[in-house]
Structure 1
Amino acid sequence: MYPGDAEFGFELLVCRWAEEAWPPTGRGDAADPDSATPLSQTRGDDAIVVARQLGTAERRWDTVVLECDPEALAARGAFGPDELDSDLLHVVRNAPAEWAWYRDALPHPGYPWRYVRAAVHRAADRGVVERRRRGNRIQLRRTAPYPDWLRRIVAIENKPDLDAAAARALSEQLRFDVGTGLADEVWVATATTGDRVEPALLEDLPVDVGILAFDVDAAEGDPGGSLLAGAGVDASVEWYPSEVTPPEGDRDDARRDRRLELAERAYGRGWRSYHGTMRPDCRHFELRRFGRGLVPYCAAKGRSQTVAECVDSCSEFEPEPPAWRTRGWPIEGGPGAGIKTLLRQRREWVRSRELDAGFDPDT
């Protein structure tokens, strides 16, 4: 089974699989042979960014996959590893090549200029624009053009146990995703059952939504994992999705802005940021390998814990001894700090690999 037998553990494996194996390839009989090849099978030159638990005020997705232009994604790195919020994006995307008063250079945002001025100061403090004062006026200029790095957004809902009740609850959410068209493609990820026909195919899900079936038991039997299999998890396409991008989507400025804001959050947070809502500073918190993925493990419980369980109100919570945090290399700051550093370094390594045009998946 997936770590902890909980949806959280399954979600982490799906994220790791997407990071290694996206776009998905299916069995020969999974799709209609007379249908057009899905877009997700023709995007082999994309760089991939994976995040989890992202969305809008109306909808939050379990897993988000960004398909990006590799060169433009590399250029995005010039603006730092952290996300740019909507106010910063307004400044960075419109900053002029030459010095200009910010009110002349930036289009009116639809809210008071004092908030724009504050955003200019924040952007300058982060080094994503240059700022100077001439008299009583604040001028700015760009450090580099903001690139058009996002190509497509793919949303994945993770339901390892997709029974009839879960399908009914999920169906309305998926119809909302298809109707709004904020994502270009929508999938449901579920665990395989071993049946000849996966039960997910028999549920009342929108026909535009694809279905991915994951054999997570393969990861347990293959601790080292296969890079090409992705996290040591076997995934098969049971149903291919349709493109749900609205016909006028490319010309919809509001939609484009919302998608870019979502992409920036995904870029800044990734999917390994779960340590921010857990307690890695507990002496029982560990990371253990599951296939090719690293998942949280609670030594006190003897299993993988969920985010809801790993809180300071847990009866087993025990802060690291202060002496652990005063030691130096190799875990300077204590094991909790070391876990955060490890997860950050793995994210940076994967991202740099995505940007390496010469990356060989067999190495």
Structure 2
Amino acid sequence: MVSTTAAPEPNSGITAPAALADREPQVPAEQLVAELVPPPRFDAVRFATYVPDPHQPSQAAAVEALSSFAAGLGGPAAKNGGRRGLFRRAPRTPTRTTPRGVYLDGGYGVGKTHLLASLWHATDAPAERKAFGTFVELTNLVGALGFQQTVATLSGHRLLCIDEFELDDPGDTVLVSSLLSKLVGHGVALAATSNTLPGKLGEGRFAAADFLREIQGLAAHFTPLRIDGEDYRHRGLPKAPAPRTDDEVTRAAYGTPGASLDDFGDLLAHLARVHPSRYGAMCEGLTAVALTGVRPVPDQSTALRLVVLADRLYDREVPVLASGVPFDALFSEEMLAGGYRKKYFRAISRLTALARDAGRLVPAS
């Protein structure tokens, strides 16, 4: 039986949940640098906690290759006399035949971020000498510090991990190509994850052919490491939960300390006013996100902002309870067939996992 009891009245003495649409965090530049560490979901992951699919040998091979990469950077295996393997430490002056990084390529849900965070943890260096951030966070750091200061800040690092590496516009292509070339020249090792091979970045998004030299320059910094497999978030699990009613979502938000409650349309409008690099700060401290009136997103720009929010909620393990259309109906068929399709499928996968986590917020009828 579906509950039909309304949410508490405003004068009932019960505190209303906060709204994400009321949050506009300001993040100082020094905080941006300090927060370049794996997010809470991946704080405790290690190579030993990654469970390779026995039907996908590339997953076990990736663990072995990345362990060797970490050893080459001074990880535990190197201390114990382990061999440095394929990714041994290169000279400080790189060449096109000696890539200074590893690039994890594969579909969504195969554990690329788990492996990237495990590499960060396995690299034997103080936290302040290794950095972990998303591509959006990296480009925003350059915007906050300036190009030269970003190079100076990161050039003393042993490792830079870039999650969700994508090029969505020509400006990012030139910026990141220049930045990574400078860092590699200073001896910084690189590791990145993406759903797109490095030589194919930007394809389907902008006139990538006009920036082919920049893209090829980026690709030259990396040795691609393919990881095959199915989305582990849904491997052997029941079908995604159906959307709740507006009343169920509202009551759950009122009954969950630390939860937020938003109309979906209001939240999308708010996302357009906040830079995506601040979405993580916007989600800090939330125990759950409750959304009413979820409906298909109206355009590509809105959809891409929603993808970033879904990633930040997933990183922080924030369950999402929603009414309206199911999450697999958020993006149009045209979007799911276009250049950003892999981002959209990742968002659907992660939001579905968070919706499954949110089931505990609604009492059984």
TM-score, structure 1 normalization: 0.26
More helix by share: 2
Largest Rg, 1 or 2 = 1
More strand by share: 1
TM-score, structure 2 normalization: 0.26
